[in-house]
């Protein structure tokens, strides 16, 4: 139990150090958005495996371009 508490406290302190800078917050939001976009594209390929190329292209654009831009813009407003 004590070991897991130490690991959690170390991870928390690392995250606090990373997010202390505004630029790193924006970069982390963009990376989270990119990760969400990749998950969306993978889910889209699994759900719509027989879909047309246009739908897959729209999902690809939304997932890999839309989410990072959205996350960057919303966090840019929050950081101000």
**pLDDT tens across 42-53, in order?**
777 777 666 666
Average pLDDT over residues 25-41: 72
Residue 34 burial (10 A CB sphere; 0-12, 13-18, 19+): middle
Threshold 0.85, pTM exceeds: no
Query: Does residue 4 belong to any structural domain of this protein?
Result: no
Query: Does residue 38 belong to any structural domain of this protein?
Result: yes
pLDDT digits (tens, 9 = 90+) for 62-72: 766 666 666 66
Query: Does residue 27 belong to any structural domain of this protein?
Result: yes
Rounded percentage of the chain residues whose pLDDT exceeds 70: 30
Q: Give residue 45's domain range.
A: 20-79
Q: Over 60: is that where the pLDDT of 37 sits?
A: yes
Total number of domains in the chain: 1
Mean pLDDT of all residues in the chain? 66
* Residues written for the chain: 80
């Amino acid at each position: 139990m004590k070991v897991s508490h130490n690991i959690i406290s170390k991870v928390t302190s690392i995250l606090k150090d990373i997010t202390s800078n505004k630029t790193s917050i924006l970069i982390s939001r963009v990376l989270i958005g990119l990760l969400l976009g990749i998950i969306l594209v993978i889910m889209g390929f699994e759900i719509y495996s027989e879909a047309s190329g246009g739908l897959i292209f729209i999902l690809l654009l939304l997932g890999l371009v839309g989410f990072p831009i959205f996350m960057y813009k919303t966090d840019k407003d929050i950081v101000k």
